[in-house]
Amino acid sequence: MLNHHLKWWLITYDQGLDAYAAKKLTLNDCFDRYISQKYNLKETTKANYMYMYNRFVRPTFGKRKIAEIRYSDVKEFYFSVLKDGIKANTLENIHTVVHPALQLAVRDGLIVNNPSDSAMTEIKRSKLWDAPKRRALTIPQQKAFMNYLESDREYEGWLPIITVLLGTGMRIGECIAIRWEDLDFENRMISVNHNLSDRPDSKGVCAKHIQTPKTEAGTRTIPMIQEVFEAFLTEYEIQKCLGFCEEEIDGYSGFVFTTAYHTVYSAAAVNNAIHRATKAYNDKEEKEAKKDGREPLLLPDFSAHHLRHTFCTRLCENETNLKVIMDIMGHADISTTMDIYAECTKEKKKEGKGQILRPTPNTAPLICGACYNTQPEDLLTMA
């Protein structure tokens, strides 16, 4: 044992490492130092990092001394997270805070290598990895959902905001933060220049905050197709009777979408409404299909972000210019656009094989990708 420790001290001394500090400091210490120096992070992003770390890392793995953490230890911790039923995308977020904390220890001369390097690569190859693949709604699913909202008294009030989400591809935080002054009805354009966040802070307390986009690509203008234009007008007429939004957040006011209490919607409220409406639709569809003796057209459980993905998919189906798609979606990285475009192209090829033998009527797109230079096709309904 003595020889082992002596060898370790000699190696660290030879490589110029601070052996004493490495033996003393924990991963928690490294993360706290790392996050305290991230002055370039937006407050909401910083709060998200701290929330993820404090919940999943600090109480357990975070107490480990950094000098004693090995590559296999990191893998074991990550595997334990998956075995506990934590979703794959959450583990990726955990890695996002663990890896830079250990990298700071490398740069500070406390350890030689980052033990979390390539850990996620191996985790993703394992049988435990089951990352959910976000799927766009199909055209029939999209049509069925919108028709249901329009015809159901309980959920028809959600039709305007869901129409805007589906017809613009805005992120949920961007959509609920839209103000009347951001809408140019004369030129039918929407200015996206801020978003609303209501995620928990470092103490786990939720509060609404307005922030500017993380990247320049997030600041953009989006054309209003006819359905979106009409949805805004409908919302305006409703609020003329029931009252406009009275809430002010960080100096911003005049928000378009408002609750019955004249406050701004939260992302959770919109997503909960989508989940409830989807379940209600499926229950009704199953009963009607059984009565009619046909297969039901069921909807998957989806969120507002799936509506953004659906919009992007419809756009990719009809627009070949990736730069146009990237600008409309506000993607900071062209690879994000390319991934969706490639997936869409793959699906269209599958459909094309079947249509060679069995051509189907009414296959016109719900959105014209070039609709920003020409007259848009009907996005939300199909004759």
Residue 230: burial class (beta carbons within 10 Å; 0-12, 13-18, 19+): middle
Predicted structure pTM score:
0.70
pLDDT tens track for 131-184: 666 788 999 999 999 999 999 999 999 999 999 999 999 999 999 999 999 999
CB 114 within 8 A of CB 69: no
pLDDT at 337: 79
Query: For 139-357, CATH number?
Result: 1.10.443.10
pLDDT at 199: 67
pLDDT at 357: 34
Helix (H) or strand (E) holding 220: strand 220-223
pLDDT at 302: 93
Distance CA 16, CA 4 (A): 19
CB 161 within 8 A of CB 257: yes
- The residue among 287, 286, 283, 297 whose CA lies nearest residue 137 is 297
pLDDT at 351: 57
The amino acid present at 5, given as its one-letter code, is H
| Residue ranges of the chain assigned to CATH 1.10.150.130 | 2-124
Which CA distances in Å does 351 have to 309, 341, 344, 345, 355? 19, 15, 11, 10, 6
pLDDT tens track for 43-64: 778 888 998 999 999 999 999 9
pLDDT at 376: 39
List, for the chain, all residue ranges whose pLDDT scores fall below the cut of 70: 1-22, 131-133, 199-204, 346-383
**Residues with Cβ within 8 Å of residue 122, at least 6 apart in sequence:** 75
The fold of 2-124 is DNA polymerase; domain 1 (1.10.150)
pLDDT at 348: 63
pLDDT at 9: 47
Tally the C-alpha atoms within 13 A of residue 191's C-alpha that lie toward its C-beta. Answer: 10
- The residue among 152, 139, 131 whose CA lies nearest residue 278 is 152
Residue 368: burial class (beta carbons within 10 Å; 0-12, 13-18, 19+): buried
Distance CA 39, CA 16 (A): 29
Distance CA 90, CA 56 (A): 10
> CA dihedral defined by 173, 47, 118, 28, rounded to 10 degrees?
-170
DSSP string computed for 140-170: HHHHHHHHHHHH-TTTGGGHHHHHHHHHH--
Which CA distances in Å does 161 have to 174, 180, 283, 343? 12, 14, 23, 27
Locate 145 and state its tokens. 């959902």
| Residue ranges of the chain assigned to CATH 1.10.443.10 | 139-357
pLDDT at 48: 85
